Amino acid sequence: MGQRVIFLVDMQSFYASIEKADHPEYKDKPVIVSGDPARRSGVVLAGCPLAKKRGVKNALRLWEAQQLCPDAVIVRPRMQRYLDVSLQITAILERYTDMVEPYSVDEQFMDVTGSRRLFGEPHAIAAKIQRDIMNETGVYARCGIGPNKVLAKMACDNFAKKNKNGIFELNHHNIEEYLWPLPVGAMFGVGSRMERHLKRLGIYTIGALARFPLPVLKKRWGINGQVLWETANGIDYSPVSRESHDGQKAIGHAMTLPRDYASFEREIKVILLELSEEVCSRARISGVMGGCVSVGCQGADYTHPTGFHRQTALMTPTNGTMDVYRAACRLFLEFWNGKPVRRISVQLSRLCSDKTRQLELFENKEAQRKIGYTMDRIKQKYGAASIIWAVSLLDAGQALERAKKIGGHYK
């Protein structure tokens, strides 16, 4: 078949673009998608190009963004709308190939190797996709093209986003000219910490990393060193797969609390139960159980960070809320320093199928199991807030408020 042709299709300022498409009156105005302007803790989730020209960046605190762009229209996020548009875009991409892999809510990989006879050469296909997405959603898409996923991703991030036509192809014939001169921090997979480590070795550009002796990198970082060297040289064997996100190794939830929680009995236990319920509900829906429970927390004093993350093995795998909750409580009490907390997490790992279960002589686990699956069906039919634990009605409870949100943001 020859060399593969992979696209990474990225939506420009996705949330803000949808808001501008849905509200024509915002067309010539800077738009910022963020939390409630009345809350100083709100951060920028997305800014349209007009706002970005004024210095607004993602994750900037809202009050800082408003100082840079005082005339900006502040819009609260509508996560359900953004997810709906993301699925709509997936459907558009699937007109060109069945090999579409969502990478994030606003980025998707495509393998169009077998689509060229139907739709033309790669640049022509990319232009058609851009037009379809713009005409049907009002969102501008950029497209990185490469022979593999890693080059398509770097073509999009470093070049297509800066091109007038929003399309760029990066391949093994031009990486030395275009990719290698870039700073090593611009390479996919290199964060700020790794960038500092590489610079200590005298590696300041992607090209320097590509030419660096591989045995030294492998000795220093093992398999990660191999991956870094391969990425710099444009090597990536991972396929575009619709099943890439299947077979997850763990299911977890974390919650940033609306205020400091200091009482274990009156406040923290409520959150541990709600998190255990969310984790176990996802496990039951996925048809899995877990043999290991993890709990983490972060202290309320951000200037002097405190907290922990610990795990414990269970006697038998479970997806029962109360089983996970009891283990989470034990872990929390064992490692908590007694000071107020602002963030708590619960995770279930070592996953296995829920089709086979250990029989219990002294407990009716089957009846408890059926209760959990019944609660899930009720929630799926009538909504997440249709049935909750009674303690969630206390002041500390967040279940009702979280039922209004997706990914921590209002639907």
Counting residues of the chain whose pLDDT is more than 70, the rounded percentage is: 91
Using CA atoms, how far residue 275 sits from 249, 261, 328, 344, in Å, is 18, 15, 10, 9
10 is in an annotated binding site: yes
Name the pairing type of β-strands 405-406 and 409-410.
Answer: antiparallel
For 162-194, the pLDDT digits (tens) are 998 999 999 999 999 999 999 999 999 998 889
Segment 332-339 shows an average pLDDT of 93
| Better pLDDT: 371 or 245 | 371
DSSP state of 356: S
334 catalytic, yes or no?
no
Per-residue burial over 66-89, b if 16 or more Cβ lie within 10 Å, else e, is: bebbeebbbbebbbeebeebbeeb
CA distance linking residue 75 with residue 179, whole number of Å: 37
Q: Is the pLDDT of residue 230 over 60?
A: yes
pLDDT number for residue 128: 97
pLDDT number for residue 20: 95
Q: How remote is the C-alpha of 346 from its chain's centroid?
A: 17
CA distance linking residue 60 with residue 211, whole number of Å: 36
Segment 223-234 shows an average pLDDT of 95
Q: Is the pLDDT of residue 304 over 80?
A: no
pLDDT number for residue 40: 46
Query: What domains, with CATH codes, occur in the chain?
Result: 1-171 (3.30.70.270), 177-232 (1.10.150.20), 250-410 (3.30.1490.100)
pLDDT number for residue 397: 81
| Better pLDDT: 402 or 67 | 67
Neighbours of 4 (CB within 10 A): 17
DSSP state of 72: P
Split at pLDDT 50, 70, 90, the class of 244 is low
Average pLDDT, the chain: 88
Segment 324-335 shows an average pLDDT of 95
Residue 320 · residue 291 · CB < 8 Å? no
Among 107, 267, 277, 278, the active-site one is 107
User: In which order are the strands placed within the sheet that holds 288-299?
Assistant: 250-261, 341-353, 288-299, 307-318
CA atoms within 13 A on the CB side of 374: 6
| Better pLDDT: 247 or 85 | 85
Split at pLDDT 50, 70, 90, the class of 389 is confident
Segment 121-134 shows an average pLDDT of 96
Split at pLDDT 50, 70, 90, the class of 7 is very high
106 is in an annotated binding site: yes
Per-residue burial over 179-192, b if 16 or more Cβ lie within 10 Å, else e, is: bbeeebbebbebee
CA distance linking residue 166 with residue 179, whole number of Å: 17
Segment 387-393 shows an average pLDDT of 83
For 246-288, the pLDDT digits (tens) are 556 788 888 888 889 999 999 999 999 999 999 999 898 888 8
